[in-house]
Structure 1
Amino acid sequence: MNYKHFILLICLVTLSSCKQDSYLNKIEGKQINISDSLQPDKTIEAFIKPYREHVNANLDSVLAYAVNTLSKSDGEYNTAIGNMMADAVFEQANPIFKSRTGHDIDMVLLNHGGIRAIISKGNVTSRTAYEVMPFDNSVVVVELKGQQVKELLDYLVRAKRAHPISKLKITLDKDTLLQSAFINDKPIDLNTSYFVATNDYLYNGGDRMNFFKTNDSLYVLDYKVRNVLIDYFSETDTLRPVIDDRFIQLKN
């Protein structure tokens, strides 16, 4: 007997031996739109309410005050909000890094696209930090050799974008070519290494910052950038960041 015929015979025998009322004849379904017309379950709502109120109270607690609205589009090569974020990473992460390694962070590099919201003029809360940095990116410190630092500079010059930096100063000439670069107010020495703080997204090649991949050492601080902001806001009564000369192009 053909194998397929044998299987078909078995199926027919099995079906014929079942009661008619046990057959599954049809499955029906319908789409239920989630809208305000759906009534909440009062039991679940009562259970969740105290947790929601506690979370909202923490998120909406005032940590600082911003004297101006801060946006990542308010500058060409550096922005007030980007400068603040990079400086905050240095101020909050450097004591941790130094206590563990005995070294200081030399510079900070974050990514312009990682700033996901403005900071409005007025009260600044923990919720503000979650809006600006909704991702769970963490601070890492990478030891870069001189050649990698050169690649970092080349990347920033090519990008011509306001990627947040701290302790690094770049000047372009009128033709947008690199004129000078300093770390901690000293000319960059390509024969030495520098400790660069960034986030784990960039370290893993995000935004095509591939110069981070071939590093000498990686230090994971277990410190989320969002928490850096929350701690920075808590310690800074009034936010007054400005656009400065850390990355500029000369016009003449």
Structure 2
Amino acid sequence: MSVLQRRNAFFVHVAAGGFFLLLGASATFASWPAQPESLLIIHTNDIHAHLLPYPDPKGEMVGGAAARALVIERLRDSKPRALLLDAGDVFQGTPLYNVFRGIPDYRSMSLLHYDAGAFGNHELDDGPAWWVHARAEAKFPILTANVFVAGDSAWAASLAPVERPSRKGARWIGGTRVPDSAPLRHIAEPYRILDVDGVKVAVLGLTTGDIVSIVSRPRNEGVAVADPIAVAQILVPELRKKADLVVALTHLGVDEDRALARRVPGIDLIVGGHSHTFLWEPVLISNRNENGYDGTMIVQAGRWGERVGRVAIAIGPRGVGGLTGALIPVRPSEGEDRAVATMLQPFRDSIAVMTERPVFTTRNRIPSSGLEEGDTPLGNWVADVILETARAHVAIINSGGIRAPLPEGTVTVGDVYTVLPFDNTIVTVPMKGWQVRELFDFIAARFGKHGFAQISGAQFKVRRGRATDIRIGGHALDSNRTYRVATIDFLYTGGDGYTMFEKAGPAEQSGKMTHDAAVEFLRRHPDYEFKKRGRIVWEGGIPMRDMIRSPR
């Protein structure tokens, strides 16, 4: 029974069928339900430092924090009882993050008056101590119930200790189990109960357990993560007793959100992120929930702030009655919030000298799609950059490290940094031919999935999940020969599960960051041709379940 049931508060009419008609992406402000008893939840996710407008595939300028602020302001004006939530990965993705490390990101969100945010995996890109420092700019709670830090870290002394049930099965970054005797503290609040004009809303933060392999191990020594679903099973019954509405604010990805909804009844709404999915309508997962739709609804608003999600929830004397949902486009041409634009201007001006320098001219836009389904023009270029910079026989770059397309026409330093935003350095490892074969088998097994890679200096075919017909520099692989294999430090230290590099031996450091090497490469090769080169050729079928992507 909800708090509102006990108080016997207000009544709301719910349409036949148990929940309101789900509104599509074309819904306008004029069509928004007028019921005064609705609670409005506005949501974003995976902004990835896209604080400034950027061109979409059609060349139209979209997004930007100032334009997003105006959309949010209009939504709030339409429904006074409102919450603004973000589902994580605020950090990393444009030169603004490379230079300012999240400071303008949290400042802009504070100006927008966010009520809560989830802790995403990219919030750990510079390690937990830096995130705690940057978090001081956030005037709203950032939540995760399943990410912890070692309790003996000096900077973590003020953080709350983790209770034993929530830490069960926790693993350090890299995958090692956390001993029961090791003290752990919460890196952030697990949840917050918000009072919205008399409606009590419990917001539970959850972060993907994949951070054991998708964040930098050296930068995150002492960080641990527990299974988010297991933690939710512990906390949701407790929150259900305290709140009228239970919202899971998750950075798990839409498929894990579905699993959460199936395995943890009691959650009315999941506001998700991580998979960069545009859910044009809420997804209903039926379960034992005692609400108007007998289940859990899932929403997600894509990526980079191109859209803002809105969900209106009807709550009455019998609890949650129903909801509507839609994604609203963010277009700078329709106006920007002056205060946010003014705050961002000094940051924008300070990076303009660096980011606006031209380095290359393309005939066509170079898309970032297909990076997990074979070699691509963009992936081949990045691998070529690594190969030439390291003077290696073979180069490997994880597809998840390539984050955006190159535009048509003039390519600037800022464009290159947006494609390759991570401060990864190029390293070289000596590997025997048989070790290279194992490496290529690892890549082949991930064809169509997270963890796939782009290569240079070699080619192979994927047959029944294994690498075959391997050739290095045009010659058949020699199992006993030692090859110079170049990659990035993230993969060398086990990122995305690539543990074979470190096992092969010590790395030779280039001292060169991938995005800087890419800028230099384009300047050296003004006639470089972006194209598929048949480096990885797949032979055979892939089960649909194996085509699921989960961005790093």
- Shared fold, TM over 0.5: yes
Give me the whole-angstrom Cα distance separating, in 1, the residues matched to 2:426 and 2:521. Answer: 14
Give per-residue Cα distances to partners, 1:211-249, cap 9 Å, x unaligned.
112123310010000101111122232453101211112
Identify which of 502, 513, 520 aligns with 1:224: 513
User: What amino acid is the match of 2:380?
Assistant: N
**Does 1:142 pair with 2:429?**
yes
Q: Does 1:133 align with 2:430?
A: no
SS in 1 for 2:445: helix
Q: Paired residue for 1:189, among 452, 465, 478?
A: 478
Q: Is the 8 A contact 1:109 1:198 kept in 2?
A: yes
Which residue of 456, 472, 479 corresponds with 1:166? Answer: 456
Q: Residues 33 and 84 of structure 1: is their aligned pair in 2 closer, same or farther, counting only changes over 3 Å?
A: closer
Aligned counterpart in structure 2 of residue 121 of structure 1, from 405, 408, 433 = 408
Range with bigger deviation, 32-41 or 222-231:
32-41
What is the letter of the counterpart of residue 163 of structure 1? A
2:378 aligned partner, one-letter code: I
Distance 2:407 2:383 in 1: 19
Of 133-142 and 177-186, deviating more is 177-186
Q: Deviations over 1:31-61 (max 9, x none)?
A: x9525448969xxx9xx96x96463033111
Change (3 A) 1:231 1:38: closer
Gaps of 5+ in 2: 1-108, 113-337, 541-552
Match of 2:27 in 1: none
2:352 equivalent to 1:56: yes
**What amino acid is aligned across from residue 171 of structure 1 in structure 2?**
K
Q: What one-letter code is carried by the residue in structure 1 that aligns with 2:521?
A: Y
What letter is aligned with 2:418? E
Gaps of 5+ in 1: 1-31, 95-104
Q: 1:33 to 1:192 in 2, by over 3 A?
A: closer
Q: Which has the higher contact order (CA 8 A, sep 6+)?
A: 1
Q: Cα RMSD between the aligned structures?
A: 2.8
Q: Which residue of 1 aligns with 2:366?
A: 70
The answer on whether the counterparts of 2:356 and 2:413 sit within 8 Å (CA) in structure 1 is: yes
C-alpha spacing 1:179/1:90, structure 2 compared with 1 (3 Å)? closer
Residues 72, 112 of structure 1: 8 Å contact kept: no
22, 28, 34: which one pairs with 2:111? 34
Give the AA of the match of 1:166. S
Contact 1:78 1:244 in 2 (8 A): yes
Q: How far off is 1:121 after superposition? A: 1.1
**1:140–1:33 distance in 2 versus 1, CA, 3 Å:** closer
CA distance in 2, matches of 1:223, 1:202: 15
Say yes or no: does 1:202 pair with 2:491: yes
**Cα 1:57–1:211, aligned 2, differ >3 Å: closer, same or farther?**
same
Between 1:233-242 and 1:194-203, the stretch displaced more is 233-242
Shift of 1:168: 1.1
Tell me how far apart the structure 1 counterparts of residues 397 and 467 of structure 2 sit (CA, whole Å): 20
Does residue 109 of structure 1 match 2:396?
yes
Q: Residues 33, 133 of structure 1: CA spacing in aligned structure 2 closer, same or farther, 3 A cutoff?
A: closer
Please say if residues 139 and 223 of structure 1, whose CA atoms lie closer than 8 Å, have aligned partners that are also in contact.
yes
Deviates more, 1:205-214 or 1:241-250: 241-250
Question: Highest CA radius of gyration, 1 or 2?
Answer: 1
Task: Give the 3-state SS of the residue equivalent to 1:179 in structure 2.
Answer: strand
Tell me, yes or no, if the aligned pair for 2:390 and 2:428 is still in contact at 8 Å.
Answer: no
Check conservation: 2:396, 2:453, Cα contact below 8 A.
Answer: yes
Q: Name the structure 2 match of 1:15.
A: none
Whole-Å separation in 2 of the counterparts to 1:57 and 1:242: 31
Higher strand share: 2
CA contact (8 A) 1:83 1:164 kept: yes
Q: Distance in 2 between matches of 1:141 and 1:195?
A: 6
Q: Which amino acid aligns with 1:107?
A: V
> Does 117-126 or 143-152 show the bigger shift?
143-152
Shift of 1:66: 1.4
| Residue identity opposite 1:228 in structure 2 | A
**1:172/1:179 contact within 8 Å kept:** yes
Larger mean Cα displacement after TM superposition, 75-84 or 199-208:
75-84
| Counterpart residue identity of residue 474, structure 2 | D
Aligned with 2:403: secondary structure? coil
Structure 2 CA distance for partners of 1:40 and 1:181, relative to 1, 3 Å: closer
CA distance in 2, matches of 1:237, 1:222: 24
Q: Which whole-Å CA distance do the structure 1 matches of 2:354 and 2:520 have between them? A: 14
The alignment status of 1:236 with 2:519, answered yes or no, reads no
Conservation of the 8 A alpha-carbon contact between 1:63 and 1:124: yes
Aligned equivalent of 2:76: none
Q: CA deviation at 1:172?
A: 2.9
8 Å Cα contact 1:106/1:194 also seen in 2: yes
Sequence identity of aligned pairs in percent? 26
Secondary structure at 1:249's aligned position in 2?
strand
Q: What is the number of residues matched between the two proteins?
A: 204
CA deviations on 1:12-40 (whole Å, 9 max, x unpaired) are: xxxxxxxxxxxxxxxxxxxx952544896
Structure with greater helix percent: 1
Alignment partner, residue 84 of structure 1: 381
> What is the rounded CA distance, in whole Å, between the counterparts of 2:355 and 2:406 in structure 1?
15
Contact 2:441 2:466 in 1 (8 A): no
Q: How much does 1:191 deviate?
A: 1.3
Contact 1:86 1:108 in 2 (8 A): yes
Say whether residues 1:153 and 2:440 are aligned partners. yes
CA drift at 1:124: 0.4
Match of 1:212 in 2: 501
Following the alignment from structure 2 to structure 1, what is the Cα–Cα distance between the partners of residues 341 and 491? 44
